[in-house]
Each structure stands twice: as structure tokens, then as C-alpha cells.
Amino acid sequence: MNPITPYCLFVGCFWLAIFGGTATHELEENDEHPHKWEMLYLVHQWPVTVCKMNEHDCKEDPLLYWTIHGLWPDKAEDCNRTWHFNLSELQDLMGDMKKYWPDVLHPNHTFFWKHEWEKHGTCAAMLESLNSEEKYFSKALELYKRIDLNSYLLKVGITPGSTSYQLAAIRDALIDAYGVTPKIQCLPGEEGHIQIIGQMKFCITKEFTLRNCTEPKTDPSPAPEDHFYHTEDLEICNDTLTYYPSHLHE
């Protein structure tokens, strides 16, 4: 063998690795990439409503504060089925995870967190600042604490109980607080009953600033929903009376 051949092979492989890596990165940023996303939804859920929708699974009295449902990239799901959840990566976050991001139906939270990582986290991970379990979950917790929805609603007198609110009063209070319009979802009222508030989605840019959640009605790619809690039954709230329940059977 010519002694120069191994050297050429080495150099060729080196440059192939360099340009091959660049090509892969460009594919992720390309408009045609199947998992391209533009913004994130930080989804808050009201545990009492979740329990109303899943009564046969709700084993304990629901929590009376808004918890995290997830941090979801828009228009992207299940991006890397080989990137499996590893609970050990969340050990430093475990206290906050159990308090602010619990499975509101089951005492063991691991399966819920696994679901959120594999369906949504592996897509968010295309952003360098979210490219690990620890980064993804800690950023969601950071955003949740920054928004501080529970404290703000209490401050303006919007509290759970037997009183109903006009949706406009809730929406206007949120706009005053955050300067943007979130997406408020309700469980539609059955005949003779009013709608029940269930989720609030705050839209977040890739730079982690709040933005409006308003979408064109003709958008062919609606925001993703997560069926872990059967929340596909939730709809954008109507501009009518809205129930904010404090007990499961009110």
C-alpha cells in the first residue's frame, strides 16, 4: 500500500466529519425539516378540572394551585423516539418537579414526566438551551415561577370557588399582568351548566420571552394537544361565564 493512502483516508474522514456535521445542523434549521418549530407553549393546568375529566383515575383530592402540564414546541411531537427518559437526570430538580409538575392523577409522577420528555422534550431539544432533560425541565420550572400565575390571580381577586367569572375579566387581568394574550381553554358546559376553566397556555419565543398566543383561524397546523389527561376535550373558552372550581363535585 502506498504510505500516503492512510493519511489521505484520515484527512478525508476528518473533513467528512466536519462537513457532515454542518450538513446535519443545517437540516435541523431548514424550513423543510419535519420537526421544525417556532415557539413554545408553557401549559398550566387546573387540577380540579383535570380530575373532573378523569374521575375514575383521580385517587386523591386535587391540588388547589395551577401546575405545569408541559412545555410544548408548536407543530412538533415525538422527534426522537430513541432518546429515552432517564429519571436520574432530574435528581437536583426533584423537589420542584413534585410540587410544580406533578402527575395530578397518580402518586407516581415518573410515567408523566417520561411522556412529556419523549413527546415534547425531544423536540424542544433542537434548541441548544433545551438539549438535555435537565435543561428542558429546569427551564420549564423557571418560566413557571417567572409567570407566577397562582399568585397573580389571587392578587387580583380571581379565586377558585362557587363564584363564576366572565371570561373577559380573566383574560383582561392576564393581559394587564403579562402584556400578552394567553390561550385559555375550558371544558365545555353540559346542558344547563357553564364552561369550566381547565388550561392556560402561555406562548414563549425561542429567546424565552412571552408573546401573544393569537393564531389565524385559517392556520392549517393548530397547536399540539397532549392526550395524557384526555385534555383533547378542552376547547378555547367562549366569551361567557366561566366556572373556576375549588372542589371536584361543586
Q: What are the residue numbers of the active site?
A: 69, 116, 120
The distance of Cα 76 from the centroid of its chain, to the nearest Å, equals 12
Do 230 and 53 touch, CB atoms closer than 8 A? yes
Provide the strand spans (E) within the chain: 40-45, 67-73, 164-166, 183-187, 195-204, 210-211, 235-236, 241-243
Beta-bridge mates of residue 166: 241
- Size of the chain, expressed as the number of residues it contains: 250
d(CA 186, CA 196): 5
3-class secondary structure, 39: coil
Q: Residue 71 region, left (φ>0) first, then alpha (ψ -120 to 50), else beta?
A: beta
3-class secondary structure, 235: strand
**Residue 129's closest CA among 73, 51, 206, 66?**
206
d(CA 174, CA 178): 6
| CA-to-CA separations, 156 to 60, 81, 110, 176, 181, in angstroms, rounded | 29, 43, 35, 11, 17
Beta-bridge mates of residue 200: 44, 184
